[in-house]
Chains A and B, each alone.
Chain A
Amino acid sequence: MSLGLERLTSCFQGIIPAMLYTCAADGTPNAAFLSHVEYVDATHVALSFQFFNKSRRNIAENPHAVVHVTDPDTAQGWALRVTFDRSEISGPIFDAMHWRIEAIASYCGMKGVFKLLAADIYTVESVDPIPEEDGQADRSAPPLRARPPDPVFTMKALQDLSQQINTADCLEHLLDSIVVGLKQHFNFSHSMIALASEKPGTLVMIASRGYPQSGAGAEVQFGEGIIGLVAEARKPIRISGLLRGMLHAYAAKRRAEEKGWCSDERRVPLPGLDNPSSQLGVPLMVRGELVGVLCIESETPYRFHEEDKTAIELLGSYLAVAIQNMQLRGDEAEPEAAPVDTAPAGSGTRHELIYHRDEEVVMLDGEYLIRSLPARILWKLLETYQREGRVEFTNRELRLDKSLNLPGFKDNLETRLLLLRRRLDQKGGAIRLVPKGRGRFALAVSGALELMARD
Chain B
Amino acid sequence: MTSVPMIDEILAEFLQSGLGIHVGTRNEQLLPAGCRATAIKVEDDGRHVVVFVPKSAAPAVFENLRTNGRIAVSMARPADDRAAQVKGLMMFSWDANPDEEALARAQWAGFLAQLDGIGLPGIATSSWRVFPCRAVRVKVTAVFNQTPGPDAGAALP
> Measuring CB to CB, which residues of chain A are less than 8 angstroms from any residue of chain B?
15-17, 19, 21-23, 25, 27-33, 35, 50-51, 53-54, 62, 64-66, 68, 72, 75, 77, 79, 81, 130-138, 141-142, 144, 243-244, 247-256, 259, 261, 277, 299-301
Contacts and interface: CB of A to CB of B under 8 A. Distances in A.
B72 A135 contact: no
18 contacts: A21-B32, A27-B30, A28-B70, A29-B24, A29-B34, A30-B72, A31-B22, A32-B74, A33-B83, A50-B148, A51-B148, A53-B153, A62-B30, A72-B123, A247-B78, A247-B81, A252-B149, A259-B151
Contact of B120 (A15, A33, A68, A77): A15
B56 A131 contact: yes
Contacts of B125: 141
A255 B150 CA distance: 7
Given A134-B129, A251-B147, A252-B149, A28 B81 contact: no
B128 A250 contact: no
Interface string B8-31: 000000000000101111100011
A58 to B, nearest CB: 9
Contact of A29 (B36, B57, B70): B70
Contacts of B150: 51, 252, 255-256, 259, 261
Contacts of B120: 15-16, 144, 301
Nearest to A54: B153
Contacts of A81: 31
A249 B58 CA distance: 32
B127 A75 contact: yes
What is the interface of chain B mostly: helix, strand, loop, or mixed? Answer: loop
Top 8 A-B pairs, shortest CB-CB distance: A255-B149, A31-B24, A251-B81, A252-B149, A31-B74, A21-B34, A21-B32, A29-B24
A29 B153 contact: no
B62 to A, nearest CB: 12
Given A250-B80, A251-B82, A33 B128 contact: no
Contact of B126 (A22, A51, A138): A138
Nearest to B54: A132
Contacts of B54: 132
Interface of B: 20, 22-26, 30-36, 54, 56-58, 68, 70-74, 76, 78-83, 85, 87, 118-120, 122-130, 144, 146-153
Contacts of B128: 75, 132-135
Nearest to A144: B123
Contacts of B58: 79, 130-131
A23 B32 contact: yes
A65 B87 CA distance: 17
Contact of B56 (A15, A35, A132): A132
Nearest to B144: A54
B80 A22 contact: no
Nearest to A143: B122
Given A33-B83, A132-B57, 5 more contacts: A17-B20, A29-B71, A51-B149, A68-B22, A254-B149
Contacts of B34: 19, 21, 29, 31, 66, 68, 79
Report which residue of A16, A21, A250, A253 has the largest number of chain B beta carbons within 10 angstroms of its beta carbon.
A21
A53 B153 CA distance: 6
A35 B148 CA distance: 9
Contact of A141 (B82, B126, B148, B151): B126
Nearest to B152: A53
A277 B119 contact: yes
Contacts of B70: 27-29
A31 B61 CA distance: 13
B106 to A, nearest CB: 19
A371 B118 CA distance: 39
A248 B32 contact: no
A332 to B, nearest CB: 49
Nearest to B21: A31
Contact of B151 (A30, A138, A255): A255
Nearest to A68: B34
Report which residue of B36, B76, B87, B119 has the largest number of chain A beta carbons within 10 angstroms of its beta carbon.
B119
Given A19-B74, A54-B153, A247 B80 contact: yes
Nearest to B29: A64
Contacts of B124: 75, 133
A97 to B, nearest CB: 16
B76 A243 contact: no
Contact of B24 (A30, A77, A135): A30
Report which residue of B32, B79, B85, B144 has the largest number of chain A beta carbons within 10 angstroms of its beta carbon.
B32
A180 B153 CA distance: 49
A29 B26 contact: yes
Contacts of A134: 56, 127-129
Contacts of B80: 247, 250-251
A63 to B, nearest CB: 10
A243 B147 contact: no
